[in-house]
Amino acid sequence: MLNLLLFIASKRKKGQPLEEAALKIQNGDTNILEEVLDSYKPFVKKTVSSVCKRYIYESDDEFSIGLIAFHDAILNYKKEKGASLLSFSEVIIKRKVIDYIRKQRKNQAISLDLHEDELDAPQSIIESNRSIEEYDKTIEISERQEEIRTFVNELKQYKLTLDDLLEQSPKHEDARVNAIAIAEKIVETAEIRDYLLEKKRLPLKKLEKMVSVSRKTIERNRKYIIAISLIIMGEYVFLRDYLKGRINK
């Protein structure tokens, strides 16, 4: 733990110490891995608790699922995606815990059905399925709300709001398709993508040379293009549904 604290303290002024620790872990530093997992147990507990709506103990299965998910997030984190490691981890932890809860609920429903009398079994199956469906709907709503909150917070880094996107979203289908194509190009091109993530704005001169639309068109749809780029790069499952069929990724 002391090594981790010293590492974080030495990197604090340079920013993103946890992300740098993740890079060391991905390169095989198992000592830091154990220290990070232990140090961030409170974060894992809080994230898991937000899903389960109750206090979580380290002895709970949900906590174990969350800790494994945090471990996976560390190993799979990519800085170039733009999101912080904690934001990325939060999404992964919640998904894994939700999947676990869903499986548990379905298993419990099946177990109950097996113990019902034959005459009551059909009705119990219907009621169990309805219960699971209602729970899934509730979880999906919660996931959508959480995803939107995460996206709104990321937009703030670019001085954008949802109102900006509503007001400046291209009105014609062709214009939207072109804007999405430009966003894809940004994400695929490391130099442009890195510039956007670092400077929080588009390199208009360079971008103009790479696409078949005018600089004026890019500027007019700038906010929309940035937002779509962030959705493509991020872990936005529901927002990506909006782009389904329109992107190649």
Nearest to 32 by CA among 19, 42, 22, 40: 22
Between 82 and 184, whose confidence is greater? Answer: 184
Contact 162/152 with Cβ under 8 angstroms? Answer: yes
State residue 238's pLDDT score.
80
Cα–chain center distance at 153? 12
Task: pLDDT band for 51, please (50, 70, 90 cuts).
Answer: confident
State residue 109's pLDDT score.
55
User: How many angstroms separate the CA atoms of 122 and 113, rounded?
Assistant: 8
Mean local confidence (pLDDT), 113-139: 50
Which residue type, as a one-letter code, is found at position 141?
I
SS3 of 107, please?
helix
User: How many angstroms separate the CA atoms of 156 and 159, rounded?
Assistant: 5
**Average pLDDT of the residues of the chain:** 78
> What are 141-145's contacts with CB under 8 Å, separation 24+?
143/94, 143/95, 143/98, 143/237, 143/238, 144/238
Contact 1/38 with Cβ under 8 angstroms? Answer: yes
State residue 130's pLDDT score.
52
Question: 104-124 pLDDT, tens per residue?
Answer: 776 655 554 544 444 444 444
Cα–chain center distance at 53? 20
